[in-house]
Amino acid sequence: MDVITTQEISSRPIEKVIVHPLVLLSIVDNYNRVAKDTRRRVVGVLLGSSFKGSVDVTNSYAVPFEEDEKDPSIWFLDHNYHESMFAMFKRINAKEHVVGWYSTGPKLRENDLDIHGLFNDYVSNPVLVIIDVQPKELGIPTKAYCAVEEVKENDTQKSQKVFVHVPSEIAGHEVEEIGVEHLLRDVKDTTISTLATEVTGKLTALKALDGRLQEIRNYLDLVIEGKLPLNHEILYHLQDVFNLLPNLNVGELIKAFAVKTNDMMLVIYLSSLIRSVIALHNVINNKMLNNEHEKAEDSKPVALT
C-alpha cells in the first residue's frame, strides 16, 4: 500500500502522535502471549487525548482479531468486546477516549483501510500506530498514520482514502519514567556481574539526579534574571525537597553515616584479606605439588647406555 506525499494532501489535522511507555509494554506483552513465533499480528484500541493536532496515547487494550492470510478482505474484529472494555476503562479514567488503533504489522496491509474505517464510528479522525515488536534496527519502534482523502486530478475518478505518515515519538510523565527506570534495573544480564550491574545502576541514577538539579538551577537563574515569571507553586515544591534533605549538622546522623561507611569498608577489607589468604594457599599447594613431582622424577632409575 503506497503512502502519498504531503503535496497530495489537502489537509492534515494530526501533526504528531505521542506514545507512552505503558502502551508499548502492554502491546509487547499481548503479542508474546498471543502471536509469538507465528505470522499473526495483534490488533487493539488506543486510548488517550488529542489537543491542537497532537494525539497523546496513554493507554491501550487488545481486541480479538482474526484475518485470512490468503484473502485480505476477510477479517473479523470483535467490536462488542471493544465496547465492553471501553466502558470499563471509562469508569477508571473518564478523560481517556478512543484515539485510534494499533497493529503489530510490521507494515501496512491491504485491509488496514477497511479496519481504519471501522474506528471512524468511535472517533472522527482515528490514528493507526504500527508497533514493531521485534525491531532489527535502532530507533523508535512506532510508525503512525492517519487517513485522508486523496484528491484526484481527473474529476471522473472517484476519490479514495489513503494513509499518510504522521511523526511519532516516545514520551511519558515523570512517574512513568521512574517506573521504566526501575523495570530496566530489574532486567538482569547473566553475562554481567552483580557488582558491575549495581555500579551501572548507581551511575545512571546519579546522572538522572544531576540532570534534575541542573534543570532546577537553570529555572531559578532565569527567575532571578527576570526572564521567567515567579511561580509560587514550583517554589513550594522546591522548598519541600530541601526540607526533606537530611541535616548533616546533627551528631547522630553523622555517627550513623560513619558507622555505615565503616561497616562497608570492613566488609571490603575482609573480602580482600580472604582473597589474599586463598591466593597464598594456592601458591603453597602449587609449590608442594611441584616439589613432589621433582622428587618423583629424581627417584626414577637412570638407564645406563
Report yes or no: 123 and 97 within 8 Å, Cβ to Cβ: yes
**228 and 151 share one domain:** no
Query: Is residue 301 included in any domain, yes or no?
Result: no
Query: Is residue 295 included in any domain, yes or no?
Result: no
The secondary structure element, H or E, covering residue 45 is strand 43-51
Distance (Å, whole) CA 267 – CA 123: 62
Written in H, E and C, the secondary structure of 124-142 is: CCCEEEEECCCCCCCCCCE
**C-alpha cell of residue 191:** 553475562
**20 and 66 share one domain:** yes
1 pLDDT tier (thresholds 50, 70, 90): very low
Query: Is residue 113 included in any domain, yes or no?
Result: yes
Of residues 206 and 180, more confidence is placed in 206
Q: What would the pLDDT profile of 182-200 be if each residue is shown by its tens digit? A: 666 665 555 555 666 677 7
Any idea which residue has 506525499 for its cell? 5
**What percentage of the chain exceeds 70 in pLDDT?**
86
Q: What is the pTM of this model?
A: 0.57
Residue 3 pLDDT: 42
Query: Is residue 303 included in any domain, yes or no?
Result: no
**98 and 226 share one domain:** no
- Boundary of a domain, candidates 175, 203, 228: 175
Domain residues for 220?
193-245
**251 and 155 share one domain:** no
Q: What would the pLDDT profile of 240-269 be if each residue is shown by its tens digit? A: 888 888 777 888 888 888 898 899 899 989
Q: What would the pLDDT profile of 201-213 be if each residue is shown by its tens digit? A: 788 888 888 988 9
Query: Is residue 184 included in any domain, yes or no?
Result: no
**82 and 133 share one domain:** yes
Of residues 179 and 11, more confidence is placed in 179
Structural domains of the chain, count: 3
Report yes or no: 42 and 31 within 8 Å, Cβ to Cβ: yes
**135 and 252 share one domain:** no
**119 and 170 share one domain:** yes
Distance (Å, whole) CA 101 – CA 63: 10
265 CB burial (10 A radius; 0-12, 13-18, 19+): exposed
Is it the case that residue 7 has pLDDT exceeding 80?
no
Which of 58-67, 115-124, 169-178 is least confident?
Answer: 169-178
**199 and 226 share one domain:** yes
**203 and 253 share one domain:** no
- The type of residue at 272 is S
Residue 13 pLDDT: 77
Q: What would the pLDDT profile of 19-47 be if each residue is shown by its tens digit? A: 998 899 889 988 988 888 888 899 999 99
**123 and 79 share one domain:** yes
Residue 194 pLDDT: 61
| Closest listed residue to residue 148, CA positions, set 128, 171, 168 | 128
